[in-house]
Amino acid sequence: MPIIERRAEQRGVLSTYSNPIYGALRASAAKADSLIGALGIFLVGGLIVAIVGAAMFGILASNVQSGSTQAFDESVIRWLAAHHTRTLDTVMVEITALGTGIVVMMVVAVAALFLVLAEHKYSVILLLASAIGGIVLNAVLKLGFNRPRPTMFAPLVHAVGSSFPSGHAMNAAIVYTTVAYLAAGLHQRRWARWLVMTAAFIVIALISFSRVYLGVHYPSDVIAGIIVGLAWAAFCMVTLEAIQNFAFRHDPLIQGSGKPALYGTPQDPARPS
């Protein structure tokens, strides 16, 4: 039985949320006769996701630079400021900590350690590439736009650097989505995968909301961060799946460099359908 890495079961760019699209890509890639062919089919899908995300970000960024979003942004922050409570302040401070650089990197480190011990090297590459690439991309975007942070009221937490796009929202979207995507592959039941991915999106939404509530970001900042983060994570995931798909079907050298799937090979009748 050939040795393969764990993701033998059909999964999409965002796990169970896009299985129909990913299924079509996988079926097409199965017919590819070369590494370039297999990679090309999946990379096209990833590029489509990335391009759509980039287009949405570009439209939003253009509106932010023209000042079209400013009235909306400020009205949301003022409304939230009028509804602050001491309890909610404490809760939001704790939630926003989940998106700080230290916490996010710890999540990456722990997940990567588990994957290394389990010998899932392609998953480690995906996680590190998406996380590190996201940090670099966010830094470049912040320098390029250099948007001042909100000043409607004194922020409840310390924040440095420019405001657009939100680093907390972007890093959370990248890391928590990627980790959830990898974790979903360990579950044999569909409802468990939905639960994992849904939990990740809830965490991302809460972190993003906390940044606006605490007065350190405009709503458009966190929306932009989520859009770019999800687009980058999706591209990284599809790229990994392209390599995986080729390894499963065509190249014994790549196929033998990973760990057996956690719940069997594609031909294993014990593996859940």
Q: What is the pLDDT of residues 90-134, one digit of tens each?
A: 999 999 999 888 899 999 999 889 888 877 777 888 888 889 998
Does any domain span residue 38?
no
Domain of 183 in residue numbering reads as 72-241
Specify whether the CB–CB gap between 188 and 272 falls below 8 A.
Answer: yes
Is 265 part of any domain? no
Of 183, 192, 195, nearest to 262 by C-alpha is 183
Q: Residue 36 falls within a domain, yes or no? A: no
Just list the catalytic residues: 168, 217
Please give the pLDDT value at position 24: 58
31, part of any domain: no
**pLDDT higher than threshold 90 for residue 174:** yes
Residue with tokens 């009028």: 82
For residue 224, the one-letter residue type is: A
21 or 161, which is more confident? 161
Q: Give the model confidence (pLDDT) of 54-85 as tens digits.
A: 899 999 999 998 889 999 999 999 999 888 88
* pLDDT band at residue 40 under the 50/70/90 scheme: low
In a domain, 98, yes or no: yes
CA 203/CA 99 separation, integer angstroms: 9
pLDDT at 185: 75
176 found inside a domain: yes
**What average pLDDT does this structure show over 175-200?**
84
What pLDDT does 10 receive?
47
- Tell me what pLDDT residue 260 has: 37
Structure confidence at residue 122 (pLDDT):
78
**Any domain includes 30:** no
Q: How many degrees, rounded to 5, is the angle at CA 210 between CA 202 and CA 112? A: 55
Q: What is the mean pLDDT of the chain?
A: 77
Residue 102 belongs to some domain of the structure: yes
Percent of the residues in the chain that have a pLDDT greater than 70, as a whole number: 72
| Structural domain total, the chain | 1
Q: What is the pTM of this model?
A: 0.74
Q: What are the tokens at 16?
A: 């169970």
Strand partners, 12: 15
Whether the predicted pLDDT of 256 surpasses 90: no
